Structure 1
Amino acid sequence: MEILPAIDLKNGYAVRLKKGLMESAKIYSKDPSEIAKKFEDMGARWLHLVDLDGAFAGKAVNYKAIEKIVSSTNLKVEVGGGIRDEQRIKDYQNIGVERFILGSIALKNLNFTKEMAKKYKIAVGIDAKGGMIAVEGWAEVSKVKATDLAKEYANAGVDAIICTDIEKDGMLSGVNVEFTKEIALASGIKTIASGGVKDINDIVALKNSGKIYGVIVGKAYYEGKIDLKEVFKLS
């Protein structure tokens, strides 16, 4: 199973939020590239990067910080937050980003997302509150069921789905294994769990489900609840 340590960016700093609320931001580093190097040294293959400011603004805000992070390691990097057009994908591709996460736009413009999936390595971000899709930095909850959106992308050439239970995110309360499995089964696409990982037992539960491709680890690492070196041995 693929383990993706996460760096969320706000004002160029590495932060973590609770339930996606910007006012809950806690700063963990003023130089996120140093964290990325640590992840690589511990055995990471992938890095999950989110431009939090960009998710709200609908455009890249932390581009320079992302460029520095990508250039500082040999990790494969996926980036999300504010990607709304092909030019932004190209800009990120030009600095070495491997995979591009489409969230709000994946709900609002299915045709665009499917077109991009034919040309680039696209991950669709399915972020849900109470099973319903949330967009615009999770500030808005739609009337679309998460599983229905997953079905829409079943045969669209999407590389991965990143599935977040927002109520769990940043809370260290345990990952929602069943919800992630539902998305994986609905889409048939390799699905990455996100939100709520509290310790290595969550990773084991996801792996034992047999249906889940990967998991994003954020706050559990930053708060010292999980030993990534041990976790990478499971991947």
Structure 2
Amino acid sequence: MKFAFSLKNKVKIAFLLFCIMCCTLLIRFLEDKSVKKINESFISMYNDRLVPATDLYFIAENLYHKNTVLQDAFITDNVVPASVSITKINQHNRKIDSAIRKYGLTLLVKQEKSFLNDLKNALTIQKVLENKALSLGSAEGKKVYESVGRNAANQTFDKLSDLIKIQSKVGDELIKDSKIFVSGTKVYSTLQVILAIVIGIMIVAIISASNAVKIQNEKFNLN
């Protein structure tokens, strides 16, 4: 009751309610901002992580098929005309280049850009050696492939693997950021509940104080 009677000053009550209103608006603003950040994180997760992951898989698939064509041309007993091998290799190269360009348009962190450049350089070296091996005769081409061509293909796969790993790492960081924003919205919701309780207590206190004053006035008038 002491607290209730201390709220008789209307100016103080109005100021306190104004402060609570400002706090409520601020909490609401911060909550909306957190929800927006969460939405942006999920959109980025899809556009810059999930979709590019399929592009990287597509690149890996075409690299594997390229390697199969080269093995058919130089390693296995299958006799594949050089013109057919070059045609198939060029088809896979075009698909890989298209996927690389598409991947480069997504949001990339500094390490991803570095690993992407490494992958591009490895692909360029691999293409040069592939063309050289296929342009030579069967015996000489096989020597080039076995000496440097196969190693270049393995280097390309290693660079692609590095890019996939760093992409997964960035995706994990986005998930952690989303969890932080979700925790923030929980805090803001808790604060809103607390403010609502405070307002309810103040209303009850003001009503109680008004009733007490009314009873005192009635007793005074009876006397």
Higher relative contact order (CA 8 A, sep 6+): 2
Q: Which TM-score tier does this pair reach, normalised by the shorter chain?
A: under 0.3
TM-score (norm 1): 0.19
Greater Rg over alpha carbons, structure: 2
Higher strand share: 1
TM-score (norm 2): 0.20
